[in-house]
Structure 1
Amino acid sequence: MAEEALETIPAELLAPVGNLVIHVEDFPDEDTEREMELESPFDLLGLYRGVDLTRQSVADLRGGPDMIFLYRRPILDYWCETGEELPAIVRHVLIHEIGHHFGFSDDDMERIEAME
């Protein structure tokens, strides 16, 4: 479903992404829960891990590719609670997390999400 959602994201957003890795996990790990100060592991649908493009420098030592985590169980829980279409939720989370890779604002991400 994540791959299908990626196909619906505008090419101009995906083209510069490059070596971004997408992982699907059931829940955030305990370190992420502590770091994000989550009350519940269901509170986080996705997460961008890396240095956004606005903060990258050629002098930076890169420890690996930037990553997006999609958390399956929280996404499914959100789907059940809201009744929104599941592919639309996955697409929304991907756009939001890819937006963090670029350092976009929430307004920027909403504009991109409205593009089909």
Structure 2
Amino acid sequence: MSDKSALPRLPAGWTGTAPDADALFAMAEAALDTMPEVFKPHIRDVVIAVEEFADDDILKSLDIEHPYDLTGLYEGRPLTERSIDASGGMPDRVTLYRVPLLVEWIEGGERLDWLVRHVLIHEIGHHFGFSDDDMHALEAIT
């Protein structure tokens, strides 16, 4: 008989089957709550969405051949490129792609909520105009 107390705590919203879009969205919201307070006013208007896969136009625009290769996407204008008189545009958006995230989760073996958090922080980092090194540092402190 195994010791069930040694099993890891399951991510919020996980029922034992492949998490649906609502469960991934809940994980993304929980990840946003872990962001440092200094960032929160700047991300409160960023729209978070969960879709099954990126569409063909998005994949083509990013020169990505296979839909499993894109787990998240930031669409918008980074804060570092904005003008004070810019207005009227669409809100910034981070899309998480459910099926590629699940595949990476299965292949990588890390907790799904951590993977969702990693992808979300990376995409939010684009909103701030951060480099990959900046994003890794942010992940380490949140």
Aligned partner letter, 1:35: S
Structure 1 match to 2:99: 73
- Using the TM superposition, give the Cα deviation of residue 58 of structure 1 relative to its aligned residue in structure 2, in angstroms: 2.5
Query: How large is the Cα RMSD of the aligned pairs?
Result: 1.2
TM-score normalised to the size of structure 1? 0.93
Aligned partner letter, 1:108: D
Structure 1 match to 2:70: 44
Structure 2 match to 1:114: 140
Matched, 1:29 2:55: yes
The higher relative CO (CA closer than 8 Å, separation ≥ 6) is in 1
Matched, 1:91 2:117: yes
- Using the TM superposition, give the Cα deviation of residue 3 of structure 1 relative to its aligned residue in structure 2, in angstroms: 1.3
Aligned partner letter, 2:110: E
Identity %: 52
Aligned partner letter, 1:110: H
Structure 2 match to 1:11: 37
User: Any idea what SS the aligned residue of 1:65 has?
Assistant: coil
1:59-70 matches, cutoff 5 A? 59-70=85-96
User: Any idea what SS the aligned residue of 1:68 has?
Assistant: strand
- Residue by residue over 1:52-87, the C-alpha shift from the partner in whole angstroms, topping out at 9 and shown as x without a partner, is 011111333442101000011100000000001111
Aligned partner letter, 1:74: P
Structure 1 match to 2:13: none
The number of aligned residues is 116
Mapped to 2, the partners of 1:37 and 1:78 lie a distance apart of 20
Aligned partner letter, 2:68: F
Aligned partner letter, 1:86: L
Mapped to 2, the partners of 1:101 and 1:112 lie a distance apart of 13
User: Any idea what SS the aligned residue of 1:79 has?
Assistant: helix
Mapped to 2, the partners of 1:62 and 1:78 lie a distance apart of 36
Pick closer, same or farther for the CA change 1:61–1:6 going to 2, 3 Å.
Answer: closer
Q: Which structure has the larger Rg over C-alpha atoms?
A: 2
- Using the TM superposition, give the Cα deviation of residue 38 of structure 1 relative to its aligned residue in structure 2, in angstroms: 1.1
